[in-house]
């Protein structure tokens, strides 16, 4: 395959352009072709007029986007020196190549130089040396001109001329009046010819040529290795479109064989390969004959009519064959990118065929990964295809696969500068997929990543999904108080539908009921009970009893259990369920409001436990500061303080154990005596004679 070469230059007075045309002539002499581009002007027209600069040619396209060069194997760069270095126009171009620097868009591409200066000592060599720094940072392979093919011309001292072993060159004079000489143009032609020969040799080695099978041997395409995972997801969770604009990490993903234009291996084992439609094959055969500038439009026409050109049986093969044709025949990177955009849009029209999206999307993404020169050029297209694949997996309830597809995108790579809103959009979707697959551990990993970027995300929907995902993970991890608070906050969001707000409120109530009894839960129950919407919930009755510290009957608990999720009914380490433990602790708290003291066995009968288990539960709650009281293990009696616990660990223990009941009795007697004395004083003031008679009689 012939190498793709671009000649890119900036020329104010036309000297460098003349050398560029001579370089192109040399490439054509060697049997190749080259595309000419000029760097965008940065000076205003007013300044150019004052410098007497002629108008720029209109027949040479202006290169604004460095990404265009990523589609070429090599480029010759024309530089008019400014003080022994790049001019500002070239510097501006390189300043825009940060994406290619970070992703390796120009890595191991070949480059040569040709230059122009005002005088013999104007800095042609120093400009070439300065360019080495830029080439090194991009990983560009510099190809010097050398002496071997132009020794006589380079050592001829009969005229003053530009150029040297670094590259061809010209001397323009202080006022730009001197034009490139024939010898200078000859050197540029030789450089172009030799540059093409060298690049062609390496490109031919790097790109294997397809070998045709003999007629009697049937070609057997290699089957692609695809990894599928089976999982489950709530379909009501919905999906979001993947935000394009970055590449994926394909390390570790299976590599597909580049199937020929007439066959494709089905991803499902046991199914036979299907040939593509003869109509489509005929249309694709016409594309290479089109001028390169018209091929993207030709592919668009084919894809716009693919429903007429294809059939249900050959649709996947037709899409894959079209994609292969685009990679082989579209031309430059811009045309390839545009053609793939058309293919993606056409693929989206078959939204009822998720398996088609998976099969075609996998093939195209793998094909992009196989072509190193296109990885940095087709970020958006690869991202959009990953989004289609993930959506297709979600439709098929393969949400674990969807999460894994999205998780391969290296949005937190140090080599990519991805905006926080893009990272958040991807990670939120991954979290939701993992949650619906009941993998809260993996979901929490990405939630922790989200916490570092959400401060810079202003999208209301992303913020809402982040909060909801955080609540679901807290719920799954049995952090019920935190989950209740998160669900309750979400229930006030104006961006959520009314039914969903009530659903969030109900989830908050369930989590609050399941939370460990104590002051924090009491405060959460108070918030929910005072929410005027709570009366509409089916669980309002049990919410009210818990808030008022009333004992719960077994029938009420059993009815409530029917509304819980499986993880909320899971067995804990001590053999009891989360719900049973929460109810026991609540009823114990309720008992402390009814009794000053109670025996172990009596409390056990009240809680549905044996006496020792009741004493153990009480001791734990006192130790954790969720209950105020003390335990007499000799007499097997529990004494409740009757006051509200603080919730601080260890604060539930009674401060003084000896004589506590006696002091309480004395306090009550003193209070009664003081009230009697107050009554006597009141009678003395109102009825002194009566009081005197009674005292005398006594």
Distance CA 139, CA 145 (A): 19
Q: What's the pLDDT at 5?
A: 95
Structural domain includes residue 69: yes
262 and 172 in a common domain: no
253 and 194 in a common domain: no
pLDDT at 118 > cutoff 50: yes
141 and 10 in a common domain: yes
Residue where a domain terminates, one of 359, 379, 414: 414
101: domain CATH number?
3.40.50.360
Q: What's the pLDDT at 665?
A: 78
283 and 139 in a common domain: no
Q: What is the mean pLDDT of residues 278-284?
A: 89
Strands 74-80 and 110-117: parallel
Q: What's the pLDDT at 688?
A: 87
Residue in 641, 644, 551 with CA at minimum distance from that of residue 603: 551
102-111, 253-262, 385-394, 501-510: range with lowest mean pLDDT: 253-262
Structural domain includes residue 432: no
pTM over 0.85: no
Residue 79 bridge partners (DSSP): 115
Q: The tokens of 89 are what?
A: 């126009």
Structural domain includes residue 281: yes
Helix H segments across 104-219?
124-138, 151-155, 182-206
Number of compact structural domains in the chain: 4
171 and 66 in a common domain: yes
Residue range of the domain that includes 681: 665-697
N-term to C-term CA, the chain? 130
Residue in 121, 126, 191, 127 with CA at minimum distance from that of residue 153: 191
169-178, 241-250, 381-390, 623-632: range with lowest mean pLDDT: 241-250
Structural domain includes residue 110: yes
pLDDT at 349 > cutoff 60: yes
Q: What's the pLDDT at 204?
A: 75
For 152-179, what is each residue's pLDDT tens digit? 889 888 888 999 999 999 999 888 889 9
Residue in 309, 343, 311 with CA at minimum distance from that of residue 327: 343
Distance CA 632, CA 638 (A): 6
636: domain CATH number?
1.10.10.10
191-205, 211-225, 404-418, 460-474: range with lowest mean pLDDT: 211-225
More confident residue, 487 or 412: 487
Residues whose CB is less than 8 angstroms from the CB of residue 304 and which lie 6 or more positions away in sequence, other chains included:
342, 346
Distance CA 40, CA 10 (A): 8
Distance CA 127, CA 166 (A): 10
Q: The tokens of 345 are what?
A: 């849009």
Strands 629-632 and 637-640: antiparallel
Residue in 603, 604, 648, 606 with CA at minimum distance from that of residue 626: 648
Highest mean pLDDT among 264-268, 329-333, 343-347, 621-625: 343-347
Q: What's the pLDDT at 490?
A: 92
Distance CA 433, CA 387 (A): 13
Structural domain includes residue 518: no
pLDDT at 315 > cutoff 70: yes
407 and 327 in a common domain: yes
Structural domain includes residue 564: no
10 and 97 in a common domain: yes
Q: What's the pLDDT at 262?
A: 33
Structural domain includes residue 446: no
pLDDT at 222 > cutoff 60: no
691 and 634 in a common domain: no
> In this structure, are residues 588 and 615 in contact, taking their beta carbons and an 8 Å threshold?
no
For 90-106, what is each residue's pLDDT tens digit? 999 999 998 888 888 89
192 and 140 in a common domain: yes
pLDDT at 545 > cutoff 50: yes
pLDDT tier for residue 80 given thresholds of 50, 70 and 90? very high
Q: What is the mean pLDDT of residues 629-638?
A: 86
More confident residue, 448 or 176: 448
186 and 283 in a common domain: no
Structural domain includes residue 396: yes
Provide the mean pLDDT of the chain. Answer: 82
Backbone angles phi, psi at 162, to 5 degrees: -95, 175
């Amino acid at each position: 395959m012939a190498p793709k070469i671009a000649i890119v230059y900036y020329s104010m007075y036309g000297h460098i352009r003349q050398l560029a045309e001579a370089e192109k002539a040399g490439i054509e002499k060697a049997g190749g072709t080259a595309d000419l581009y000029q760097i965008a002007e940065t000076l205003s027209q007013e300044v150019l007029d004052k410098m007497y600069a002629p108008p720029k040619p209109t027949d040479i396209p202006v290169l604004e986007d460095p990404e265009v060069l990523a589609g070429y194997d090599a480029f010759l760069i024309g530089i008019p020196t400014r003080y022994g270095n790049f001019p500002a126009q070239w510097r501006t171009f390189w300043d825009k190549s940060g994406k290619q620097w970070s992703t390796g868009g120009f890595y191991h591409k070949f480059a040569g130089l040709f230059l122009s200066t005002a005088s013999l000592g104007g800095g042609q060599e120093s400009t070439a040396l300065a360019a080495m720094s830029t080439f090194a940072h991009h990983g560009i392979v510099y190809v010097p001109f050398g002496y071997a093919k132009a020794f006589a011309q380079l050592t001829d001292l009969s005229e003053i001329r530009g150029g040297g072993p670094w590259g061809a060159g010209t001397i323009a004079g202080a006022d730009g009046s001197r034009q490139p000489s024939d010898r200078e143009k000859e050197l540029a032609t030789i450089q172009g010819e030799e540059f093409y020969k060298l690049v062609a040799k390496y490109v031919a080695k790097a790109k294997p040529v397809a070998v045709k099978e003999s007629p009697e041997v049937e070609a057997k395409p290699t089957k692609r290795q695809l990894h599928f995972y089976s999982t489950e997801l709530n379909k009501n969770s919905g999906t979001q479109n993947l935000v394009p604009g970055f590449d994926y990490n394909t390390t570790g993903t299976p590599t597909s064989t580049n199937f020929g234009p007439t066959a494709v291996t089905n991803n499902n084992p046991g199914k036979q390969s299907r040939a593509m439609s003869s109509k489509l094959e005929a249309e694709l055969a016409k594309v290479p004959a089109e001028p390169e500038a018209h091929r993207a439009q030709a592919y668009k026409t084919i894809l716009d009519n693919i429903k007429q050109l294809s059939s249900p049986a050959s649709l996947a093969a037709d899409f894959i064959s079209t994609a292969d044709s685009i990679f082989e025949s579209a031309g430059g990177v811009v045309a390839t990118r545009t053609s793939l955009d058309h293919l993606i849009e056409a693929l989206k029209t078959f939204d009822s065929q998720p398996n088609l999206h998976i099969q075609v999307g996998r093939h195209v993404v793998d094909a992009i990964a196989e072509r190193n020169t296109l990885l940095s050029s087709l970020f958006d297209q690869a991202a959009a295809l990953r989004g289609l694949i993930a959506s297709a997996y979600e439709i098929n309830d393969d949400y674990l696969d969807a999460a894994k597809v999205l998780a391969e995108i290296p949005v937190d790579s140090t080599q990519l500068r991805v905006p926080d809103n893009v990272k958040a959009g991807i990670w939120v979707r991954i979290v939701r997929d993992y949650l619906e697959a009941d993998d809260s551990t993996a979901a929490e990993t990405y939630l922790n990543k989200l916490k570092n970027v959400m401060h810079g995300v202003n999208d209301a929907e992303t913020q809402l999904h982040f909060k909801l995902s955080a609540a679901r993970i807290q719920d799954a991890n049995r952090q019920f108080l935190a989950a209740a608070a998160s669900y309750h906050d979400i229930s006030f969001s104006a961006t959520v539908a009314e039914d969903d707000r009530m659903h969030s409120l109900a989830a908050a109530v369930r989590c609050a009921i399941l939370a460990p009894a104590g002051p924090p839960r009491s405060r959460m129950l108070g918030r929910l009970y005072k929410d005027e919407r709570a009366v509409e919930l089916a669980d309002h009755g049990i919410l009210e009893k818990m808030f008022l510290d009333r004992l719960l009957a077994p029938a009420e608990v059993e009815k409530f259990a029917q509304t819980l999720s499986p993880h909320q009914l899971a067995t804990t380490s001590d053999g009891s369920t989360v719900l049973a433990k929460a109810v026991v602790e609540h009823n114990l708290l309720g008992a402390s409001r009814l009794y000053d003291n109670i025996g172990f066995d009596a409390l056990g009968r009240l809680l549905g436990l044996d006496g020792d288990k009741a004493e153990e539960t009480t001791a734990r709650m006192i130790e954790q500061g969720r209950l105020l009281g003390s335990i007499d293990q000799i007499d097997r009696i529990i004494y409740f303080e009757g006051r509200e616990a603080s919730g601080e660990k260890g604060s539930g223990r009674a401060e003084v154990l000896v004589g506590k009941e006696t002091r309480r009795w004395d306090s009550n007697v003193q209070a009664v005596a003081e009230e009697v004395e107050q009554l006597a004083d009141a009678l003395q003031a109102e009825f002194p004679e009566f009081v005197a008679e009674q005292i005398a009689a006594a």
